[in-house]
Amino acid sequence: MTALPAGLATIPFDNSYARLPERFFARLPPTPVTEPGLVRVNRELAEALGLDADALASPTGIEILAGNRVPDGADPLAMAYAGHQFGGWVPQLGDGRAILLGEVIGRDGIRRDLQLKGAGRTPFSRGGDGRAALGPVLREYIVSEAMHRLGIPTTRALAAVTTGQPVYRETMLPGAVLTRVARSHIRVGTFQYFAARRDSEGTRSLADHVIARHYPEAADAERPYLALLDAVIGAQARLVAQWLGIGFIHGVMNTDNTSIAGETIDYGPCAFMDRYHPQTVYSSIDHAGRYAFANQPAIVQWNLAQLAQCLLPIIDENEDRALAAAQHAIDGFPAVFEAALTVVLEGKLGLAEPRDGDLALAQDLMSRMAENGADFTLTFRGLADLLDPPAENPQCDSPGPRAQFQDPTAFDTWAEAWQARLAEDAKPAKERAAALRAANPAVIPRNHLVEEAIRAAEDNGDLAPFEALLLALTNPYEDLPEHARYQQPPRPDQVVRQTFCGT
């Protein structure tokens, strides 16, 4: 075997999860593919991780990203976990098509996982082929990088490669592997795996690992594992509040897709709303609307309750005290979430100093949006135009939020109350408009644009739309003339009504 290029021979792996007991995972290498080819290396992320992007894009680097070669210092494994999927209990899930290569500590001092998604069958594959198609890989690359640029905690895409091998779903599709980066891949379902087996020592070892890795302040609490639960509740409350602030629908909020680190993870049938309605669902497998836009806060509370149940044996030796403490923590979720959502929505309305009634003011606008078919992103983005009109801001040619309403007077009535509320804050109009534009994106990965990029790549091998969309999403809070088409809602013939999981 030839020596690794210098930039790959020095990947600074430090694999803490692999040092946990063997029952936490299955050790195995990725399954090689026939003809790996580079789609993209995320150079900015590689730099942040202290990795050599040129080395990753080299022939040997592509071999590593495809799973054909294991780099020095890696300790590849598939993680074990369980979970509730659409409310139904599955006692064993696990990484059925992903291999955790190892962990690196980035230039910011934060430890992150490097995982190959689509890297072949594992003991947890449950009859699956362990592979990923190019379309879902591109979707996750686009949306996860967009979320990062929008300021939402998320896993990220370090690279994507093709495999030279087809995968078979409803039809034959080109195969691909995504290199995913996460603060960790530990999920609520990871805790459920041990709790279901009445493995209290496994639960304790996992909790200690999570505290050390993500919530070190919990170690000094009187009840460290209750403090851990409180920390995860806070992280998830803030995360879902941020989702609601950008019109994001995860689509498959199973417990095995709920990150203990508080990151958005597993971009399957995810979508960003065009026209706002609280019961919007895009996922082709969510037939009952369990994971509709407005249901996401209640669902994450339910998921967190499953985590609390797992932690009961280690929260307190006394079962009644443990249950009371955990129940109190879960019952506190709505208040924690409402506080987080209020902060998000106050920013979206340009409110500098919080007041009672701010949340109701935002909810009134959204109710009117739902009744009038208003575009979520354009309505909020357009609020700044009322304070800093396009004529004074040539880069912005938005028709304004009023134009989004089937009955514009519904917006006018709300805007009167909004203007009265703004008058209570002493802030210059242009300064407030700048704050509004910093809180309300101009560009999101709209479903029709993501689909356009996927179709071009899968059908024609054309990655230009993928690259162009990624470029437009680099500065989502700026109005750039060259990215005007990415700010527009879909025409009727472009509307995407369903998104797919891709597994």
Would you name the residues annotated as active-site residues?
256
Contact 61, 78 (CB under 8 A): no
Rounded Cα distance between 41 and 65, Å, is 10
Q: What is the spatial distance between Cα 34 and Cα 164, in angstroms, rounded to a whole number?
A: 6
Three-state secondary-structure class, residue 39: strand
What 3-state class would DSSP assign to 95? coil
What SS3 class is residue 201?
Answer: helix
334, containing H or E segment: helix 333-348
DSSP H helices in 186-332: 188-196, 200-213, 224-246, 296-315, 319-331
| Cβ neighbours of 420 (radius 10 Å) | 10
- Strand residues in 401-479 grouped as ranges (E): none
Q: What are phi and psi of 287, to 5 degrees?
A: -70, -30
Residue 320 phi/psi, 5-degree rounding, is -65, -40
The C-alpha angle with vertex 163 and arms to 157 and 165, in degrees rounded to 5, equals 140
Sign for the CA dihedral angle at 371, 372, 373, 379 comes to negative
Handedness of CA 465, 467, 472, 473 (dihedral sign): positive
CA–CA separation, 264 vs 409, rounded Å? 37
If one counts every other C-beta atom within 10 angstroms of the C-beta of residue 281, the result is 22
Provide φ and ψ at 174, rounded to 5°: -70, 140
> 117 by DSSP, 3-state: which?
strand
Instruction: Please work out, in degrees rounded to the nearest 5, the angle formed at the alpha carbon of residue 176 by the alpha carbons of 171 and 180.
Output: 130
Alpha helix locations (H) across 247-294?
none
Q: How far apart are CA 58 and CA 123, in angstroms?
A: 31
What's the half-sphere exposure (Cβ side, CA atoms, 13 Å) at 343? 12
3-state secondary structure of 288: coil
H helices of 349-463, in order, are: 358-372, 376-387, 408-422, 429-439, 447-460
d(C-alpha 188, C-alpha 208), whole Å: 15
Token pair belonging to 60:
């040997």
